A = this chain, B = another copy of it.
């Protein structure tokens, strides 16, 4: 069986795993005060061009989003997000559980439009009853989005400017950041991300780590007392150095970047394969998630050899499916997918 369900089906990239094994017996202090974690933080700050940033490591995306957002918002504020944003849909109410409303903006292939963001903020403060409403206290976007799409540099810059003019911090969920940076026709660098937003996280779980997300705080005014908040959110790993060790492996060489490139290239090959057979993509994704619109009988026949996810409910004749590549995906697996498709 070929697996294209998602990018967190296997363990760690061999180079990451090797580091964990090599350091396994060493004894260090807990909770991220060890030298591995400090070194990993330095590597990330350098990669971001932000020597004064603060870097913290958490274990998963939902907990990272909940902790960061809870830490930034004042009690009367909510977080702006696309209605398709991960926090809006698939985090089981983690943001609301910490007391905050998600203020949804329309989504366009997963993206927020700068114009609609500006309109929301302007309308809010021009409403006489705004003090009875939840004030927008920050913006959450994902890069790449839940649909695999990316923002251009100009789009991101415009959004960033609107946020900062309105004194609204911009937070980027980078669960799959490597795949955004490696995307076809991408114009945004890691340093751009670090420049344009106030806080973001570099996803490890979906990019070669066993688990782990690195929060990078570039705006010095935000998230003081983040450590106790991580603890309060149950997001503080006792053996914190496990996170440091893994991010060292990802950032000491160019491993994080390389995984991004290899994984995206394989996804684009899959996309082209489907397009060449006359099928259509639902969204024009340049990253490692591909959404294909397939006839149900093709889906059923494919499913005998290949695992993948239906995206939304099954249609009468056609259904959208998602193909995702990860660091384990090989060219020969795609060759095999191609042969299977040829037989259908």
Q: Does A242 contact B (CB under 8 A)?
A: yes
- Per-residue CB contact flags for chain A residues 192-216 toward chain B (1 = under 8 Å, else 0) read 0000000000000110001100000
Would you call A97 and B232 a contact (CB within 8 A)? yes
- Count of identical protomers in the assembly: 4
CB nearest neighbor in B for A30:
B8
Q: Does A233 contact B (CB under 8 A)?
A: yes
CB distance from A288 to the nearest CB of B (A): 15
CB distance from A171 to the nearest CB of B (A): 16
CB nearest neighbor in B for A58:
B234
Q: Does A145 contact B (CB under 8 A)?
A: no
Would you call B129 and A90 a contact (CB within 8 A)? yes
CB nearest neighbor in B for A25:
B10
CB nearest neighbor in B for A12:
B24
Known contacts A89-B133, A97-B98, A100-B93, A234 near B63 by CB under 8 Å: yes
Would you call A242 and B135 a contact (CB within 8 A)? no
* Complex partner residue of A27 from B30, B225, B328, CB under 8 angstroms: B328
Known contacts A6-B30, A75-B70, A89-B133, A62 near B94 by CB under 8 Å: no
- Interface size range on A against B: 35 or more
Would you call B8 and A239 a contact (CB within 8 A)? yes
Within 8 A of B (CB), among A126-158: 126-129, 131-135
Would you call B211 and A76 a contact (CB within 8 A)? no
Would you call B238 and A76 a contact (CB within 8 A)? no
Q: Which B residues are CB-close (under 8 A) to A135?
A: 225, 228
Binding site for B on A (CB under 8 A): 3, 5-6, 8-12, 14, 17, 20-21, 23-30, 59-64, 66-67, 70-71, 74-76, 78, 89-94, 96-102, 123, 126-129, 131-135, 205-206, 210-211, 225, 227-229, 231-239, 242, 309-310, 312-313, 328
6 A-B pairs with least C-beta separation: A63-B234, A11-B24, A92-B231, A9-B27, A76-B228, A92-B232
